[in-house]
Amino acid sequence: MLKTLPPTLREKKRYISFKILYYKELSGSEVVNIIRTAIINYYGVWGCSKSNPWLIDYNHPKGLLRVCRDEVDFVKSALILFNEYKKHPINIIILGVSGSIKKSRKKFLKVPHEEYYKVIQRRKREMQSK
């Protein structure tokens, strides 16, 4: 069985809060595609794998992206320079960068923090009501 890495050996992460201005509402998979395309166009495949972007949360038009701490500036510039998606103009605005999900949601996305166990309970209730 594999052991987990101790905190001193783990990759340091930062959370980028962003806002997407587009003429229609985008799904989470489309946002992932936009982010990967933007980073690959600006920084290349190697840079995309090095920055390790991961979409944490997306509620139209705001979202939260996890990246490697050393690559924050490259990812920010890649997102800012991305300007066209499916032949329509798109604008990605960086709201801020934080070291924790809780602080970035509270400060930049203006969303109250909800405990993880409460999210799971709410999802279970939604599934049961369907």
d(CA 7, CA 62): 30
Structure tokens at 43: 């920084």
Give the per-residue pLDDT at 41. Answer: 94
- Model pLDDT for residues 9-35, shown as the tens digit of each residue: 988 999 999 999 999 999 999 999 999
What count of residues does the chain have? 130
pLDDT level of residue 1 (50, 70, 90 thresholds): confident
Please list the alpha-helical segments (H only) found in the chain. 28-51, 72-81, 101-107, 116-129
CA angle 37, 98, 52 (to 5 degrees): 35
Give the per-residue pLDDT at 93. Answer: 96
Contact 127/119 with Cβ under 8 angstroms? no
Output the average pLDDT for the chain: 91
Give the per-residue pLDDT at 38. Answer: 95
* Residue labelled with tokens 């009501």: 129
Give the per-residue pLDDT at 22. Answer: 94
Identify the DSSP state of 87. T
